[in-house]
């Protein structure tokens, strides 16, 4: 990755993408070198930072020039363009044409003067029309055709660029909300668990209603417009909100049903977070660890994005035969750098998250297996030292396993995008099934990896033996994991959903009332994904604490018997909690066994399994035969 970054930064002209270039290969806002056999190349464009299209109806084949400012008014004739150039010194015709000769030149796609000049603003250093509906009706038809012919991604990226500061602000809001919920969960677990339940219900219902209301008003406003003013991007925007509204409705109904089923297990969750809170009380700085992880990921994302941009900016000047204009295409070899760098991106990102999980697990393990917890200090520094000295290889290997699943998923998404609209129903079904299987496999591997890191923190094993040990422990304690762990994960999932709902509602309130955002459905979706990722990063502290306590408990009862020689490390509260949860599991198992015995089927409860293990082999075999 370093070699690719060095090559891209050395041979790629990032400024060419940032400022754009004209049809002669001159980068705007820069001093340029002469390109062989290209007239009007090598010009000094220091005072011309923006790209202007001669015909915005067909920007791909249009002659492009660099201008000092984007025009701030609409000009329909060559006389208007000439008068505007004399008043503002903004030259909108080709470089070799004098202002006095503007009225003598042709207006069109390839110049030398523009076909139509519209009131514009610079976006990504390109002159983009402000509001096409303010033009005369005769001009709107042409502009609508241009906007309707634009690519979907270009439309979405334009809104993303305009709303970039709001996106950053909403991400910061989600980070603050997640941190507040996590702190409150640490202080008043019982109140916050109930509050998360209630607010998740209210937030999901309110979010669904907000989406339906937004869809209704946008559709009504679209239908009230004359047919020649109706843009395809507005129709796509309405369709996007309809899809979001339907998905939100289905999700809300499922969520309400799940909450209704699991409402009786809230006591489990409250006690679970209370025990996890005890461990985190001894390590309050551990709550700040997600900030460092978030900053690390942010710096890494910026680095990766810069390298991707540099890769795209490589290439030599080439003449396009169709138009005779200059373009820059990267060499074929460089295109493979994208995939190589994408694999490195996935791998490194998973490595950073693996280190984050290990440090949390190691801190909780140190707290659990410390007899005198009052003398417990510096767990984070010690855990980082152990990670750096002994277990970096395990983290790299665990991250690589996840990468082996992520890369095929990315390839499948790429194939689906390339075949969109051309694949048959069978091919579409197969691709979706493969994507679903890989997604499930990735989730399973992440679950096993997280518990493998906990075993590494407990026993110091390498990755593969630790993964086998973790899987064995999880299988042997399947009922306990299902009853205790899943309830806690469900509460944390509701907390993440609450963060996303609050962020999305603020986003709808801000972006929905601003007329400059015409296709902000994608913007809201991206903000929602970022909000969920940020909340996951913060709540991962509690998730790992809960999972680590469970495996520590299993290891504790495996190696100790509670006697004076081998006392348990667990606190009395945790012992009582697990005992109560096990009793409830056993009572349910016995009820199921009675039902099964009526059907002639035998079931062994967890207590009976422990009893069988503690008896001689002959007695065990006899009981097994009876069962």
Per-residue confidence (pLDDT) for residue 455, from 0 to 100: 92
* pLDDT value of residue 603: 42
Cis check for the bond before 112: say yes or no (omega within 30 of 0). Answer: yes
Cβ-based neighbour number of residue 136 at 10 Å? 8
pLDDT on residue 396? 95
* The pLDDT of residue 330: 74
Distances (CA, A) of 166 to 180, 234, 241, 337: 21, 21, 20, 32
Min mean pLDDT across 245-249, 343-347, 360-364 is at 245-249
Helix (H) or strand (E) holding 127: strand 126-129
Per residue in 46-58, pLDDT (tens digit) is: 989 999 988 877 7
pLDDT(100) > 80: yes
**C-alpha span between 15 and 68 (Å, rounded):** 17
> How far apart are alpha carbons 3 and 316 in whole angstroms?
20
- Those residues whose C-beta lies under 8 Å from the C-beta of residue 593, and which sit 6 or more positions away, are 602, 603, 605
pLDDT at 228: 62
- Separation between Cα atoms, residue 446 and residue 323, nearest integer Å: 51
Task: State residue 325's pLDDT score.
Answer: 85
What's the whole-number mean pLDDT along residues 33-51? 87
What confidence tens digit (pLDDT) does each residue in 369-378 have? 887 766 667 7
Q: How confident is the model at residue 393 (pLDDT cuts 50, 70, 90)?
A: very high
Average pLDDT over residues 485-506: 77
Euclidean distance between the first and final Cα of the chain, in Å?
A: 59
Q: Compare 448 and 553 and report the one with higher pLDDT.
A: 448
Which of the residue ranges 228-232, 575-579, 617-621 would you say has the lowest mean pLDDT?
617-621
Q: Cβ atoms within 10 A of the Cβ of 560, count? A: 14
Is residue 137 predicted with pLDDT exceeding 60? Answer: no
Q: Residue 40 in contact with residue 57, Cβ under 8 Å?
A: no
pLDDT tens-digit profile of 198-208?
Answer: 777 787 788 78
- Overall residue count recorded for the chain in this entry: 627
pLDDT band at 66 (very low <50, low <70, confident <90, very high): very high
In the 8-state DSSP scheme, what is residue 328? E
The predicted structure's pLDDT at residue 391:
93
Mean pLDDT over residues 8-16, rounded?
81
CB 143 within 8 A of CB 507: no
CA distances from 66 to 29, 37, 51, 111 (A): 8, 20, 5, 13
Confidence of residue 197 (pLDDT cuts 50, 70, 90): confident
Q: Higher-confidence residue: 502 or 335? A: 502
Q: What pTM does this model have?
A: 0.66
């Amino acid at each position: 990755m370093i070699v690719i970054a060095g090559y891209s930064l050395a041979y790629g002209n990032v400024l060419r993408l940032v400022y754009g270039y004209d049809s002669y290969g001159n980068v705007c806002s820069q001093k340029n070198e002469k390109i062989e056999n290209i007239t009007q190349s090598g010009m000094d464009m220091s005072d011309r930072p923006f790209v202007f299209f001669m015909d915005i109806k067909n920007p791909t084949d249009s002659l492009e020039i660099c201008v000092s400012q984007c025009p701030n008014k609409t000009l329909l004739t060559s006389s208007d363009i000439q008068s505007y150039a004399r008043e503002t010194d903004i030259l909108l015709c080709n470089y070799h044409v004098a202002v006095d000769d503007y009225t003598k030149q042709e207006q069109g796609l390839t110049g030398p003067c523009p076909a139509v000049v519209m009131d514009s603003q610079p976006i990504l250093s390109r002159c983009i029309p402000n509001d096409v509906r303010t033009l005369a009706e005769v001009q709107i038809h042409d502009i609508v055709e241009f906007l309707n012919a634009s690519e979907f991604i270009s439309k979405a990226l334009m809104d993303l660029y305009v709303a970039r500061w709001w996106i950053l602000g909403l991400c910061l809001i989600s980070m603050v909300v997640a941190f507040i919920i996590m702190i409150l969960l640490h202080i008043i677990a019982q109140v916050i668990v109930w509050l998360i339940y209630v607010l998740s219900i209210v937030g999901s219902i309110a979010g669904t209603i907000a989406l339906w209301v937004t869809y209704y008003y946008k559709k009504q406003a679209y239908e009230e417009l004359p047919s020649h003013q109706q843009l395809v991007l507005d129709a796509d925007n309405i369709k996007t909100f309809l899809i979001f509204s339907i998905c939100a409705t289905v999700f809300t109904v499922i969520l309400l049903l799940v909450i209704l089923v699991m409402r009786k297990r809230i006591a489990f969750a409250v006690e679970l977070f209370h025990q996890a809170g005890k461990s985190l009380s001894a390590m309050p700085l551990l709550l700040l660890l997600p900030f460092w992880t978030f900053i690390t990921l942010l710096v890494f994302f910026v680095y990766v994005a810069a390298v991707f941009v540099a890769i795209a900016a490589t290439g030599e000047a080439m003449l396009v035969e169709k138009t005779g204009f200059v373009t820059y295409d990267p060499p074929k070899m460089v295109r493979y750098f994208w995939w190589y760098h994408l694999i490195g991106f996935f791998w490194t990102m998973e490595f950073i998250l693996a280190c984050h999980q290990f440090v949390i697990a190691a801190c909780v393990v140190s707290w659990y297996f410390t007899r005198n917890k009052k003398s417990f200090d510096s767990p984070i520094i010690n855990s980082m030292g152990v990670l750096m000295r002994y277990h970096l290889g395990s983290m790299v290997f665990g991250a690589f396993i996840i990468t082996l699943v992520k890369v095929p998923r990315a390839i499948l998404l790429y194939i689906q995008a390339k075949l969109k609209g051309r694949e048959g129903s069978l091919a579409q079904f197969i691709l979706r099934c493969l994507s679903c299987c890989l997604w499930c496999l990735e989730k399973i591997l992440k679950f096993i990896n997280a518990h493998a890191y906990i075993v590494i923190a407990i026993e110091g094993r390498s990755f593969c033996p630790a993964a086998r040990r973790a899987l064995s422990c999880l299988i042997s304690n399947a009922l306990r994991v299902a009853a205790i762990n899943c309830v806690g994960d469900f509460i944390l999932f509701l907390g993440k959903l609450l963060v996303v709902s609050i962020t999305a509602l603020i986003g709808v309130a801000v972006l929905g009332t601003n007329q400059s955002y015409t296709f902000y459905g994608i913007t809201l979706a991206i903000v929602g994904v970022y909000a969920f990722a940020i909340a996951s990063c913060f709540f991962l502290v509690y998730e790992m604490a809960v999972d680590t306590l469970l495996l520590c408990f299993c290891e504790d009862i495996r190696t100790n018997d509670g006697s004076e020689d081998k006392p348990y490390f667990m606190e009395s509260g945790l012992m009582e909690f697990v005992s109560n949860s096990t009793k409830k599991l056993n009572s349910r198992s016995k009820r199921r066994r009675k039902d099964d015995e009526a059907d002639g089927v035998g079931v062994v409860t967890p207590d009976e399994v422990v009893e069988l293990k503690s008896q001689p082999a002959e007695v065990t075999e006899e009981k097994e035969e009876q069962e």
